[in-house]
Structure 1
Amino acid sequence: MTQRQRKFLGTIALFLLIAVYAAIAVGVAIVLQVHNASKFTELLYYVVAGLLWVVPAGLLISWMQKPDT
C-alpha cells in the first residue's frame, strides 16, 4: 500500500474515530451527570476523555506517515 493510499484511508478512519469517540464520551458524560457524580469526578473525566483520543489518533497518523517500501 502506498503512502498516498494510507493517508486517504487513515483520514477516513480518523474522522470515524473522532465521531465514534465523541459519541461515546458524551454518553458517558451524560451518565455521570444523571448519577450526580461529584464535580471533581466530572472534571477528572473531562480531562481524561479530552486527551485519551490522542493515543489512537497518534498511532493512526504514525501508520499513515510510514514511507513506501
Structure 2
Amino acid sequence: MPPRLRKFIGTILIIILVLVYALLATTIAAARLAESPWWIHLLYFLISGIFWILPAMLIIKWMAGPLPPKKG
C-alpha cells in the first residue's frame, strides 16, 4: 500500500477513534459518576484522557510502516 494512502486511512481512523472514544468516555462518566466527588471525576478523566493514546499509537505505527522498495 502506498505511504500516502496508508497515512490518509490512518488519519481517518484516528479521527473516528477520537470521536467514538470521547463520546463513549463521556457517556460512561455521565451514567456512572453523577453523584461522585470531584476527585473521582478528575481521576476518571485523567485516566480516560490518557488511555485513548494506546490505540492511536498502534494506528500511527501502522501509518509509518515499511516504505515500499525504491525502483531503479
Map residues 1-69 of structure 1 onto 2, 5 A cutoff.
1-31=1-31, 32-33=33-34, 36-69=35-68
* Counterpart code for 1:44: L
Shift of 1:49: 0.7
What's the C-alpha RMSD, in Å, of the aligned pairs? 1.1
What are the Cα deviations for residues 12-61 of structure 1, in whole angstroms up to 9, with x where unaligned? 0110000000100110111111xx12333222101101101111101100
Q: Structure 1 length as normaliser, TM-score?
A: 0.86
Q: Distance in 2 between matches of 1:57 and 1:40?
A: 27
Q: Distance in 1 between matches of 2:4 and 2:14?
A: 15
Q: Distance in 2 between matches of 1:43 and 1:11?
A: 29
Q: Distance in 2 between matches of 1:15 and 1:43?
A: 24
Q: Structure 2 length as normaliser, TM-score?
A: 0.83
Q: Which has the higher contact order (CA 8 A, sep 6+)?
A: 1
Gaps of 5+ in 2: none
Aligned pair count reads: 67
Paired residue secondary structure (2:50) = helix
Gaps of 5+ in 1: none
